[in-house]
Structure 1
Amino acid sequence: MARRRQTVTIKHVAAEVGVSLQTVSRVINNEPNVRPQMKERVQAAIDKLGYVPSIAAQRMSGSKSYLILALNDRERTIEDWRARQGSDWVDQMLLGGMLKCAELGYRLIFELVDTHNDHVERELRAMIAALQPDGVILTPPHSDNPLITGLLNKHEIPFARIGSSGNGGGIPLIMGDEGAARMATRHLIELGHEHIGFIAGPDDYALSGWRSAGWRNEMNDAGLSTEGLWAAGDFGHDSGVKATRQLLAQSPRPTAIVASSDQMAIAAIEVAGEIGLTVPADLSVVSFDNTPMARFNSPTLTAVDQPIAQTTSKAVELIVDANRGKELPIATTIVAAKLIVRQSTAPPPQSE
């Protein structure tokens, strides 16, 4: 019977070199005050033995946990998972965060928190005590929740704020939502549309206001009226139905709509069909997010592609930089979105 191969641990590396466990840990963690000759000896032993550093080994120095905690909204995330409608925000967030963490020797821990819960501070304190993270990634609406940001500031834990302008500390990162809304609106204007409706996201997301401002400013710059062309939504399908009915009841009726999520854009297409309008011949639709449903809907959706993975990856990078004492950017980091043109947009119908 073949003997099972023994797992190589940090103890084997230390014994091979004849040094302490702490010395090996300092080399693994690329810490200062380790002689170059010692680094070479330890690295040679690691290569020889085929040792793969573990979180436990990295923690032996006692100064870091090598864990980064990523928080997402509990209610909305669970709702999306149960609906199974193709939202991939969490997938893209984990893709960018986990790959960058692995590259830098960290691990990403993903947790759900209800930002509207009065107990959010207690939940977060429990997570911090259990995990002792070296940094935290906040996503909207957590990014602008003063209970959360205040607690992280108090504990002096570096935190990245995706979708936030950064008032109140932390490392702000945005995906250029105002510019993206301008880009989507400009695409429709260049096609010849003048009556362009806009369906906004919920007020507790700062990016909702940025997107509304981008649409409004682009319309104003083109000398086009926005009166009666804005409607409230909450990113969900049902709110998209209500908002679209409101917009299409206007006179003159909009010939195009920019919706702040793929689900609301699909709702707009459904409502248009109910009243006998065809997309894009009678109504053009642009969405935000570019989730899988944008590609598989019929017609396929022209969509603002949100760089969620790239933004989360950059958030990890900046948190690690903060832990290593590197100088961080003074300005808000922008990871720009792009517009993917598909079948749901076309020139407006010719008036008879």
Structure 2
Amino acid sequence: MTKSKVKQEAVAIIDNRQHAPTMSDVAKLAGVSAMTVSRVMNGDSNVREQTRTRVDAAIAQLNYIPNQAARRLAGLRPIRIGFLYSNPSAGYLSEFLVGLLNQVSPNNIQLVVEKCEADEHDVEQAQRLITNGVDGIILPPPLCDSARLIELIAATGTPAVTVACGQPDPRVGGISIDDYEAAYAMVCHLVALGHHRIGFIIGHPNQSASARRLEGFKAAIAEKNVESAPELITQGMFTYRSGLDAAEALLGLPERPTAIFASNDDMAAAVVSIAHRLGLDVPGDLTVAGFDDTSLATTIWPELTTVRQPIADMAEAAVQLLLQQIRGQRNGTPQAPEHVRIDHTLVRRQSDAAPRLRPRTQFLAKVAP
């Protein structure tokens, strides 16, 4: 339709009606359905730009002002989102909540927060959220890897988004970084500094992100042709306590590593603590690297070199992805779950350096019994 014909059509609509312009008037002028006009006005990102332009032009031509009360009743009623979490570190949870809360007011969201123990009543609590009418659910680690939870969500048709899952289930949305590439990049950085004996602390064995980080570590070690030994890899649980135990094991080896890469900042901070207890200088005697870049990374000394996983940004992106699913259901245009990958960053601070060249016999500290 040419601009002149659009103008003529707009004039005809204005002349023929005895009331304020309606959404139907806008739809007729734009040559689209009333549902499409609603989607444009609600900011639906799936509307084609050409269609959006026509609708915007029709709104301007008719000087259409939506009935706010009707909009609230029809599509802008509060959206209730459930956030189910289970014992992440305090720093991780804090940043996650900041990201969620940043999206609450602008999007008319009611956030329902519930804590549960992984594998203990998690399905029952999720079922209660669904029964009580939440429109969607967000699952951070470790619940993002719960097969029972995903089965429940898929069976009930509840929109859901997992965050920081190493292998997101295709039946739900997902926001994640590339854990494999992030770990690979950190090992390459440590090798570039001159480290050839690098210890690694694995994260919780039940979390898929842990496996991906371990795979990235092993791939980089193999590619860079540096020392690979089973004793250089030890199990952690993503907790500070497990990091202490892992650090004691690695630093108690007859030939200790010159660098230790831990799968999260809590365990990396524990490595720094054990190193200090043994009289080792970080980074002069031992380089330490973490993962996540939580607030803990900059509250210990020395500050941690780490992989920045933008947790708050990922939480915000999860809300936006979930909103698209929920609005699609409300508008009768359900969308397939989408998986979005967020960029990670390697952040250098004071805990890394080139290895100090000196005989092993000068290292006399022993791990305390």
TM band (smaller chain): 0.7 to 0.9
> Match of 1:258, as an amino acid?
F
CA distance in 1, matches of 2:255, 2:63: 73
Q: Give, in whole Å, the separation in 1 of the partners of 2:41 and 2:117.
A: 34
Residue type matched to 1:288 in 2?
F
Gaps of at least 5 residues in structure 2 are 1-19, 23-37, 45-57, 360-369
Whole-angstrom CA distance in 1 between matches of 2:354 and 2:280: 14
Tell me if the contact between 1:244 and 1:271 (Cα under 8 Å) persists in the aligned partners.
yes
Q: TM-score, normalised by structure 1?
A: 0.77
- 2:101 is equivalent to residue 67 of structure 1: no
How far is the alpha carbon of 1:39 from its aligned partner? 8.9
Correspondence for 2:346: 339
C-alpha deviations, 1:263-315, integer Å up to 9, x for none? 21121112122222111001000011222221121111111111111111111
Matched ranges for 1:243-322 at <5 A: 243-322=246-325
* 2:226 alignment partner in structure 1: 224
Query: Counterpart amino acid of 1:68?
Result: I
Give the equivalent residue in structure 2 for 1:42.
66
Q: Check 1:72–1:194 CA distance in 2 against 1; reply closer, same or farther (3 A cut).
A: same
Letter of the 1:70 partner, please give it: F
Question: Using the alignment, how far apart are the partners of 2:112 and 2:294 within structure 1?
Answer: 23
The aligned counterpart of 2:136 is 135
Gaps of 5+ in 1: 1-16, 20-25, 47-52, 81-86
Q: CA 1:97/1:29 → structure 2, altered by over 3 Å: closer, same or farther?
A: farther
Contact residue 84 and residue 126 of structure 2 kept, 8 A: no
2:302 is paired with a residue of what secondary structure? Answer: coil
State which structure, 1 or 2, has the greater radius of gyration over its C-alpha atoms. Answer: 2
Q: CA deviation at 1:244?
A: 0.9
Q: Secondary structure at the match of 2:106?
A: helix
Identity score, percent = 28
Q: What residue number does 2:127 align with? A: 125
Instruction: State the 1:153 CA deviation.
Output: 1.0
Deviation at 1:31, TM superposition (A): 10
How do 1:1-352 and structure 2 match up within 5 A?
30=42, 40-42=64-66, 58=72, 60-61=73-74, 66-73=79-86, 76-77=87-88, 80=89, 87-117=90-120, 119-130=121-132, 132-164=133-165, 165-167=167-169, 169-227=171-229, 228-323=231-326, 324=328, 325=333, 327=335, 332-352=339-359
Q: Deviations over 1:2-46 (max 9, x none)?
A: xxxxxxxxxxxxxxx9x9xxxxxx8998499xx959993336xx6
Whole-Å separation in 1 of the counterparts to 2:191 and 2:43: 55
Tell me if structure 2 keeps the 8 A contact 1:100–1:316: yes
Distance in structure 2 (CA, Å) of the matches to 1:42 and 1:306: 41
Conservation of the 8 A alpha-carbon contact between 1:65 and 1:134: no
Structure 2 Cα separation of the partners of residues 350 and 291 of structure 1: 32
CA contact (8 A) 1:318 1:328 kept: no
8 Å contact 1:259–1:287 — kept in the other structure? yes
TM-score normalized with structure 2 length? 0.74
How far, CA to CA, are the matches of 2:266 and 2:174 in structure 1?
27
How many residue pairs get matched?
Answer: 306
SS of the aligned residue for 1:258 comes to strand
